[in-house]
Amino acid sequence: MRKIIMLFVYFLSLSTLTFAQEKLNINIEKSTIKWIGEYTFHFGGHDGFINFKDGFLIKTKDVITGGEFTIDMNSITNTDIKNAEANKGLVNHLKDPDFFDVPNFPIAKLEITSVEYFENNKGRIHANMTIKGITKPIKFNTEFNYEKQEMFARFKIDRRDWNVSYKSKFKDGAISDAIGFEVTLKL
């Protein structure tokens, strides 16, 4: 009986090692989220950055399999307007209820639910994104650089899915329904 128990403990510990997961905290000082908003009927738009509040990736058997990230919506900036007063006006407008309603929803989240790999360093992320308290599934392609311990992704979302509902009164000033993101995660 003792041999059976020892054998059971051995196989249990072996299976635990086989499926071990590692939590990898991202470096929030070096990781970036760039946002891009474009006009609908002419070239141009606005862009800037939003900071991570915290985040981590889950690594299983030497590949990324999950993760979760919190975004500090109060940190949103604009980088294309050089006039300080106009820049501040746009940033404050982005925080208004018709955009991100930051006073009521100061954080956004992204939770990676699964990763499909095309190659060793390329894959498709399936995730749940929460903005303004609304959670929707999204998917996007990504590249992993294991030597530099970083991940890069570019994707767009339809802002209307999260009630980011600003509508311009002028056709020439209309903004696209798509918001682009360029994300670099560094460990």
pLDDT digits (tens, 9 = 90+) for 40-65: 777 778 889 999 999 999 999 888 89
Question: Residue 90 in 3-state DSSP?
Answer: helix
**pLDDT of res. 80:** 87
pLDDT on residue 143: 94
Q: What is the CATH number of domain 20-186?
A: 2.40.128.110
CA distance 90 to 97: 13
Is this prediction's pTM over 0.85? no
Residue 139's closest CA among 125, 156, 157, 159? Answer: 125
Mean pLDDT of 102-129: 94
Chain-centre distance of CA 97, in angstroms?
Answer: 21
The full set of domain ranges for the chain reads: 20-186
Mean pLDDT calculated for residue range 86-106: 90
- Could you tell me the end-to-end alpha-carbon distance of the chain, in angstroms, rounded to an integer? 47
- Joined together, the tokens standing for residue 15 give 């299976």
Mean pLDDT, the chain, integer? 85
